[in-house]
Structures are given as structure tokens and as C-alpha cells.
A = this chain, B = another copy of it.
């Protein structure tokens, strides 16, 4: 199997993680982002600019962003569902924004209240606006590996969105396994459908809902993907299965990659301490195995 020398991780706990947990105080969000900024991570998804009615967890996005430490080596990003959100993100000073659209028509309507075609129609304008403000745009394609309402999603449908994103002027595409329906076979099928058709950098976002996150990541590595999302402590549940895992834990990704000799730039011990902070903030035991059991190098006293 092919493996790269280095992988780029984006930490999504402050946004994707906390958006799927009961609301936490603004100060805790700032503490979490600041702690993450000191672990060696090079990208952090900090907040989203969404309707505070629909997503009260992110109502203080501008306040959080104004208060956090900005480290020069880190690219901080904000997610938005539409042009209005992107404007708010740019106004707040972000130079990297993510726009989300679902590969599934049903999920896009449930998630952001409009059709896929309406989402795609707005992309050229969003990209032009960002370009004026010297910001980059990533298009996140949710439900890329399956939709909780529609089931399997044809890879060709995902490829059409990639083509639309590229034509609009986006700088990167991300494939979201929104409810953990991905398997190595789905990763392979998706890459077969999209890799030849675009020059855009690609990122994959896996959930560990059904235990496959690291197997999926390994499959993607073998196919040349070197950018991944992950959430410290694995925070952020699965929206359609109460109690089930959501995002793959960043420390589980780093732990595996480092043992394989793949660099991430992250200090694993500092990251595990930050997972402990995340656990304290959300106030429930987290599911990350590396948080609970420690890394494989953490030995027991000899009997």
C-alpha cells in the first residue's frame, strides 16, 4: 500500500464538533481553540456563520473569533451554508471559508433549506466575492459516501458537484461522510469517479459511526489523498444515531499515522491533553480510544 511522508490535518472540533453538542460557553470555545493552536496543527475550522435560530451553538461565532489567539503558522477557517454566511465570515476577517452543499438533494434541503441547484448557482458569486477579499473557498460536499435519507449516492453525482465547484473557482473540495456511511469500497468508488476529472486538492472528512474511519483513511492514503478532517476527542455525535460516534478523533488519526511513520506536525501528547479539555468542556465521557486508553506507547507497570 502506498503511504505519503506527510499528511495535512484540519481540526474541526470547535465548529463541526461543538455544533453537534449541547451549547457551551463562549469562553470554553476560546480555550479549546487556543489549546488546539498550541498542538502543532496547521489548520483549524474555528466557527460557522449560520442562522443563530437554526444553530444556537454558533451564535457567538464573531465573538469567539475576535478573542482567540491567531497563530501565524495556522490557517483558521469558517464554514458557511450560503453567500450571506460567507460575507459574515469575510467581514469577521477570515481568509479561508468553506461552503457546504450536499450530494443528496434530500439532505441539502434538510440541512440548508434549498435545492442542490440553488446551492451550486450561488457558488460563482461566492468565489468572486472571496477572491476580491483575497480569501480561499473550499466546497464541502456533504453525504458524499451515502445519505441517511436517500441511501447510496452515485459517485457521478458527487463528480458533478466537483466540476461545478471547480468551474465556479473554488480552491479545494472536501468529501464529507456526514453520517458515517463510508467504507473502503465507497472511498475507492468515489475516487475512481472524481480523481481523473479535476486538479483541485481534495480533502476527506470521515465519521467513525460504524468503526470504518481509519480503514477509510488508509484507503484514501493509498489513493494519494493527503488532507483530512478530524475532531479532537471525537466530539460531535452522529445526528441520526443518538449516542453513536461522529467525527473521527484527531488523536486516533495522529496516533496511527505517526506509528506508520507519516508526519502530521502535531504533538500527540499535547493533542491528548487537549482531548481531555474537550471532554471537560462537553461534560460527558468521550469515545476516543486514544484518550481513554492512552497511546500504544503508554505502558502498564510490570507485575
Binary contact track A277-302/B, C-beta < 8 Å → 1, others 0: 00000000101111011111101111
CA distance A294 to B209 in the complex (A): 9
Instruction: Please state the number of chain copies in the assembly.
Output: 2
Q: Which residues of B have CB within 8 Å of A213?
A: 211
Complex CA gap A238/B222 in Å reads 30
Min CB distance A115 to B, Å, is 14
Q: Is A73 an interface residue (CB 8 A)?
A: no
The answer to whether residues A299 and B151 also contact, given A210-B289, A252-B210 and a CB cut-off of 8 A, is: yes
Given A210-B255, A219-B218, A293-B210, A185 contacting B261 (CB threshold 8 A): yes
| Contact A300 B240, beta carbon cutoff 8 Å | yes
Q: How far is the CB of A127 from chain B (nearest CB, A)?
A: 30
Contact indicator B299/A1 (Cβ below 8 Å): no
Identify which of B148, B214, B296 contacts A146 (C-beta below 8 A). B296
Let me know if B184 and A256 touch, CB within 8 A: yes
Within A199-223, which residues are at the interface with B (CB < 8 Å)? 208-215, 217-219, 222
Q: With an 8 A cutoff between CB atoms, is A245 at the interface?
A: yes
A236-250 interface code vs B (CB 8 A; 1 in, 0 out): 001011011100110
- B residues within 8 A CB of A1? 1, 184, 219, 222
Q: How far is the CA of A187 from the CA of B268 in the complex (A)?
A: 22
Taking CB as reference atom, which chain B residue is nearest A146?
A: B296
A240 and chain B: residue at smallest CB distance = B300
Residues of chain A from 157 to 210 with CB closer than 8 A to chain B in the complex: 179-181, 183-186, 208-210
| A74 proximal to B (CB < 8 A) | no
Partner of A256, one of B106, B208, B212, B295: B212
Does A22 sit at the interface, judged by CB under 8 A? no
- A229 and B213 CA atoms in complex are apart in Å by 20
Is there contact, CB below 8 Å, between A292 and B244?
yes
Is A25's beta carbon under 8 Å from chain B? Answer: no
User: How many Å lie between the Cα of A256 and that of B241 in the bound state?
Assistant: 18
What is the bound-complex CA distance between A180 and B295, given in angstroms?
10
Contact status B238-A293, CB under 8 Å: yes
Interface membership of A110, Cβ < 8 A: yes
- Given A148-B299, A211-B213, check contact A259 B218 (CB 8 Å): no
Question: Given contacts A292-B244, A296-B181, A300-B148, is CB(A208)–CB(B211) below 8 Å?
Answer: yes
Residues of B within 8 A of A296 (CB): 146, 180-181, 183, 210
Question: Can you list 18 pairs linking A and B with CB atoms under 8 Å apart?
Answer: A1-B184, A106-B303, A109-B303, A146-B296, A149-B303, A180-B289, A185-B260, A186-B259, A208-B289, A210-B255, A210-B256, A211-B256, A211-B288, A214-B214, A215-B218, A241-B293, A243-B292, A245-B289
With A186-B259, A218-B219, A240-B300 given, name 17 new contacts (CB 8 A). Answer: A106-B303, A110-B303, A151-B299, A180-B296, A184-B218, A184-B256, A185-B259, A185-B260, A210-B255, A210-B290, A211-B213, A212-B256, A214-B215, A218-B218, A241-B294, A244-B293, A287-B287
